[in-house]
Amino acid sequence: MKQTALALLLSVALATPALAGPPLDGNYKSTDLGGSVLTGRYAESWLVPNGLLDPATTLNCASWDGATLGTQWRYYCGTMVAPAQLISDNLDVNGNGSRTYMKTFVGGYVWLDGAGPWGNGDPDYPGTLQSYVEFETIQYVAWDRVAAVTNVSSAAHFTGYSLSCMTFAVGNGAEVGSTDYGMTKPADYPDFMDANCNPIGTLGGWWDFIGITLSITGCTVPVEETTWGAVKAIYGE
């Protein structure tokens, strides 16, 4: 009986271990900060000209490796359900200066590639956005919008793991172009999406996304290693 139990345990110990598991906890920085997370690009679509502060504005953000979008991570389909909130107004009487707005997006999804630095055996890590808040500072000249930068923070829960398994991200955006300026979005920026996650939007702006820190917490459960000697001791060998 003792020999049978030892033979069974030995076969288990020698078997190839399963590699699948939740993403590895840690703080991962983008390449421009010296890390291994790709910087990104994103688009925001709106329904009417100059509607970037209006409800139904929808985001679509993806990693960019220099040739292909979305190979490492994506944040997409969050939608504003209320107008942006003005939190700072520095315009002078001639309409020169800046205004900062808080834009709150509801719903949406996150996706991380399992081959990323957080990889722990699963092919990918999808999830749902819990919050996505963007502080957008718009520069004006004679009341006309001419440029914008953003600071973004988000939180998401990974699907299929405990509720404590979360990812948090911060980053900075710089506006590259907008249909409001009479420009056409290049094909190598994410699609304009509508509130139903369909890539059919026609109006919006496109941005570069840099300075990213992606934090994963509550996902990896430490496993205590048991030596083969300890296993034998259980059976009195």
Task: Judge whether 194 and 35 are in contact, CB under 8 Å.
Answer: no
pLDDT tens by residue, 69-105 = 999 999 999 999 999 999 999 999 999 999 999 999 9
| Span 131-159, pLDDT tens digits | 999 999 999 999 999 999 999 999 999 99
Q: What is the mean pLDDT of residues 164-175?
A: 97
pLDDT tier at 8 (50, 70, 90 boundaries)?
very low
Q: Which helix (H) or strand (E) holds 7?
A: helix 2-14
- Cα–Cα dist 150/174, whole Å: 6
* Sequence letter at residue 142: A
Q: How far apart are CA 29 and CA 156, in angstroms?
A: 17
Instruction: Output the CA torsion sign for 158, 162, 167, 168.
Output: positive
Type and span of the H or E element at 230: helix 228-234
* The dihedral formed by the CA atoms of 78, 133, 153 and 47, expressed in degrees to the nearest 10: 50
Percent of the chain whose predicted confidence (pLDDT) is above 70: 85
Query: Minimum mean pLDDT among 1-5, 119-123, 127-131: which range?
Result: 1-5
CA pseudo-torsion sign 202, 204, 210, 211:
negative
Query: 92-96, 105-109, 201-205, 220-224: lowest mean pLDDT where?
Result: 220-224
Structure tokens at 162: 């405990």
Among 60, 100, 102, CA closest to 79: 60
Residue 6, strand partner residues? none
- What pLDDT does residue 20 have? 79
Q: What is the mean pLDDT of residues 154-183?
A: 96
Which distant-in-sequence residues (6+ apart) come within 8 Å of 57 by Cβ?
Answer: 44, 45, 46, 51, 79, 80, 103, 105, 204
Q: Where are the domains of the chain?
A: 18-234
Query: Would you state the pLDDT for residue 87?
Result: 98
For all residues of the chain together, what is the average pLDDT? 89
| Residue-level pLDDT at 225 | 43
Please give the model's pTM, rounded to 2 decimal places. 0.84
Strand residue runs (E) in the chain: 26-29, 40-46, 58-64, 69-80, 85-89, 97-106, 109-113, 124-141, 144-158, 166-178, 203-217
Please tell me the distance from the alpha carbon of residue 86 to that of residue 69, in angstroms, as a whole number.
32
> Phi then psi for 141, rounded to 5 degrees?
-130, 120
Tokens of 220: 């990896």
